[in-house]
Amino acid sequence: MDVKYINHFISAVNNTFTTMLGSSPERQGLSLKQHHVAQGDISSIIGFAGKLAHGSVALSFPQETALKIHAVMTGETLDKLNKDVQDTVGEIVNIIAGGAKTEFDQEGLSFHISIPTVVVGKDHTIIHKGSTPIVLLPFTWEGCSFVMEISLKLEGTPRRPIRQLAGEAF
């Protein structure tokens, strides 16, 4: 997977947070994830399916982050991950996936995106189908943390191997 494809997702995260939440997050690094356990208390995953690209993207949030996002988006302060917060998290991931899809489409890599699935609970699992490596991108936003997971398979030969990307700061 070429580095620019990861940047499509990062760009979508920045645009979504800046427009809907008033400030952009900071990315903290990049690594490959070797297991399925989520880092947050609530996660949302969206699948991609197309002839030239398929996979999934997930965002996982600690409770504190999810509650803060919900409060900023809706003006409603809550203290648990109820149905409304789950809906907010699903919608944020939907907007990010749509933003990334738009950038891929401009490069001729069209795919459909699924409806978001939301999972709640300590140590829940996030399953990305297939054996494609999972790229893990941690972020901080307004003192809160969250991570994005990307598992994307492009048909054809990647310009550089994905393991090489993991050690790069871009």
Partner 1 sequence: MKVLVVDDSATMRRIIIKNLNDAGFSDTVEAENGIEAISRMAGVELVLTDWNMPVMDGLSFVKEIRRNTAYANVPIVMITSIGAKKEVVEALKQGVNNYIVKPFTPAILIEKVKSVIPN
Distance of closest approach, residue 16 Cβ to partner 1, in angstroms:
5
Please name which of 56, 44, 61, 52 lies closest in space to residue 134, comparing C-alpha atoms.
Answer: 56
Question: Any idea of the CA torsion for 84, 85, 87, 88, to the nearest 10 degrees?
Answer: 120
In the bound state with partner 1, the residue whose beta carbon lies nearer, of 92 and 165, is: 92
Decide if residue 70 touches partner 1 (CB under 8 A). Answer: yes
Question: Binding to partner 1 by residue 117, rule CB under 8 A?
Answer: no
| Options 55-63, 84-92, 123-131, 151-159: segment touching partner 1 (CB under 8 A) | 84-92
Q: Residue 67 is inside which H or E element, if any?
A: helix 63-74
Q: Rule CB under 8 A: is residue 105 a binding residue for partner 1?
A: yes
C-alpha radius of gyration, the chain, whole number: 15
Q: How many residues bind partner 1 (CB under 8 A)?
A: 26
- Evaluate whether 24 touches 96 at the Cβ level (below 8 Å): no
Shortest distance (Å) from residue 37 CB to partner 1:
27
Please identify which residue in 102, 125, 140, 164 interacts with partner 1, judged by CB under 8 A.
102
Tell me how far, at minimum, the Cβ of 169 lies from partner 1, in Å: 27
Q: What are phi and psi for residue 57, nearest 5 degrees?
A: -130, 140
Task: Select 97 or 136, whichever has its Cβ closest to partner 1.
Answer: 97
Q: What token pair was written down for 69?
A: 């996002």
Q: Which residues contact 104 (CB under 8 A, 6 or more apart)?
A: 5, 8, 53, 110, 111
Q: Which residues of the shown chain bind partner 1 in the complex (CB under 8 A)?
A: 15-16, 19-20, 70, 73-75, 84, 87-88, 90-91, 94-99, 101-102, 105-106, 110, 113, 115
